[in-house]
Structure 1
Amino acid sequence: MTDFMYTIPIDFHLDSNAAKAITAIFCALIGFSTFWFLSKSAAIKAWFFKKYAHDLACRKHIFFTKYMGFLWMGILPLLTMLCLFPDDSLGYFGLNGRKDTLLFSLVWTLGLSILVIPMAYFSAKKPKNLVNYPQIRAKNWDRKTFYINLLGWAIYLFGYELLFRGVLLFPLAETLGIWPAIAINIALYAATHIPKGLDETIGAAPLGLVLCILTLQSGNIWIAFLVHVALAWTNSLTALRYHPDIHYTHWKK
């Protein structure tokens, strides 16, 4: 084994393809890590709860974390790649409206949504899910909290999918090949679900595979984004409906 290892030619030359792949991976690593530690900061959370009443603090803190996800996972990694690789456009990273794949995108978005929404609905009612959802732990939700919850999930997931299915996937597919790009994407995508438990971590692998393939075939991130939003909204609103201690003023339990 040692002799074999020494026979492998080692070339530390960094070409343009390697530079792009490494930059994309580090954008994903730094972007997600920064978001994660900001969202889990006890000091930041304490600041909100010191400044505002409980229910308002819950809403403002969670929306802050969603906005940080949008910024650190979506906007900043995208701007970094655009600045370092100016020949690439927004469309290259999956932000386009390709007419040739529009029907494909619509059919798969609808089909996957029909599949995942009932699954999310039934799993969201389980006690182990209600421990974490809805994420805004305000005891009483008004209409503003309701819509901020939806908006927060939408902007967060836009940043999330832009990072994994845009900034990370397309450059790696170009430089390393489709299957290595998908494998790296799934590994990092599943790893981000580890704090959410074994079920979500395992489930992220097949979902990540499907979303990567559909993203590459459609040439943009919209299927992944819209399906993920449908899943998150269903889970969040179902949890709101069935949580015994959290109430929305316009719903009767």
Structure 2
Amino acid sequence: MRKLLVSLREHVSTDFHPGLYGTVAVFLAVTIAANYRFDFEDSVIDAYRGREIRMLWYFLLYGVAYYFTVLAQAWFGQVGTALRQRRFWLLSLAGMGMLAVDGGFYYHRWVADRLFAAEVQPYAVKCLGQLNSLLTILLPCALLYRWSGHRPESFYGLTTRGVNLRPYAGMLLGMVPLVAWASFQPDFLLTYPSYQPTAADPYLATPPWVNALGFELAYGWDFVATELLFRGLLVIGLAQVLGNRAVLPMTVTYAFLHFGKPLGETIGSVFGGYILGVIALYSRNIWGGVALHLGVAWLMELAAFLQLPFR
């Protein structure tokens, strides 16, 4: 824990600029307020669900978040010549493209319709929807890592070398009271648990917990993919170009990823994303982020499941 605090303090001391951080804070406040006032993602982007143009909308959404922050860094003289480097544009545009395709991907519904019985299709769609990132994030990251040149020493932080997860266990324990409190909030109960029973339970003649576990494992994989993209590619990968300045643009983009979630979760993602970015930057791996991100996600699922008998 002490090492994490030292890394965070060191990063803030070298990265903080009052004008830059103030500009980014105002940008986040305005965009978050606008999204929840006009329900932009749910009302505008989701209106194109099942159509490729939804991917374009997501590209614009995440691109605005990422490149506004980078331009603000350039304005305050923090990124030097990075904007003139081909590698910056290759990695950052690839990252925005993966986010856009992953957000708008709907072809798993076509697969579910053709491979599964009608009773199982809703469950299959839920699980396959969490596994989309095998195609939309993991595969493109692998190809980018293989062919982009000047690679980091590990596959965007997906390495077991020097990994110590013990400090994160204590951090997760500290999150238990906060998650317990959040589980009593109305907007939390409208969102979680992510898994809802379907007709697959009686059709497959399996205990409901078996299907719930299958979904939760697929749900958990999606968080690994999220860490690979945000803390792996956008921090560890782009640190070769931006140095420690890679954390802030990732953080703002990560907040935009939460626009369809409860407001408190979106605000929390700003601080959580920043801390996870610093952890990845200084540890050169993403497993700390995976442990925290996945641990909190499953804690929220568990808290919501425990609330079900009392609704």
Q: Which TM class, normalised by the smaller chain length?
A: 0.7 to 0.9
Q: Which amino acid aligns with 1:189?
A: Y
The structure 2 residue matched to 1:127, chosen from 186, 201, 223, is 186
Q: CA deviation at 1:198?
A: 2.1
Q: CA deviation at 1:111?
A: 2.6
The residue that corresponds to 1:34 in the other structure is 101
CA distance in 2, matches of 1:126, 1:44: 36
- Does 2:148 match 1:85? yes
CA distance in 2, matches of 1:42, 1:92: 27
Q: CA deviation at 1:183?
A: 0.9
Asked whether the 8 Å contact 2:109–2:125 carries over to 1, the reply is no
Q: Which amino acid aligns with 1:114?
A: L
Q: CA deviation at 1:17?
A: 7.9
CA distance in 2, matches of 1:243, 1:15: 50
CA distance in 1, matches of 2:111, 2:309: 24
The structure 2 residue matched to 1:112, chosen from 162, 167, 171, is 171
CA distance in 1, matches of 2:227, 2:144: 15
- Does 2:142 match 1:64? no
Structure 1's consecutive aligned runs of 4 or more residues displaced over 4 angstroms after TM superposition are 14-17, 41-48
TM-score by length of 2: 0.63
Q: CA deviation at 1:191?
A: 0.7
Taking the TM superposition and a 5 Å limit, the aligned residue runs for 1:196-215 are 196-215=261-280
For structure 2, list consecutive stretches of 5 or more residues without a partner in the other structure.
1-74, 76-80, 202-206
CA distance in 2, matches of 1:134, 1:214: 28
The residue that corresponds to 2:214 in the other structure is 148
Q: What is the alpha-carbon root mean square deviation over aligned residues?
A: 3.1
Taking the TM superposition and a 5 Å limit, the aligned residue runs for 1:157-196 are 157-178=223-244, 180-196=245-261
Asked whether the 8 Å contact 1:58–1:138 carries over to 2, the reply is no
SS at match of 1:71: helix
Could you tell me the percent identity over the aligned residues?
22
SS at match of 2:192: coil
1:163-214: CA deviations, max 9, x gaps? Answer: 0010111122120120x21111101101100111321211111101111111
CA distance in 2, matches of 1:161, 1:51: 33
Equivalent pairs counted in the alignment come to 224
Q: CA deviation at 1:236?
A: 1.2
CA distance in 1, matches of 2:292, 2:160: 17
Summarize the Cα distance change of 1:43–1:155 in structure 2 as closer, same or farther, 3 Å threshold: closer
The residue that corresponds to 1:76 in the other structure is 139
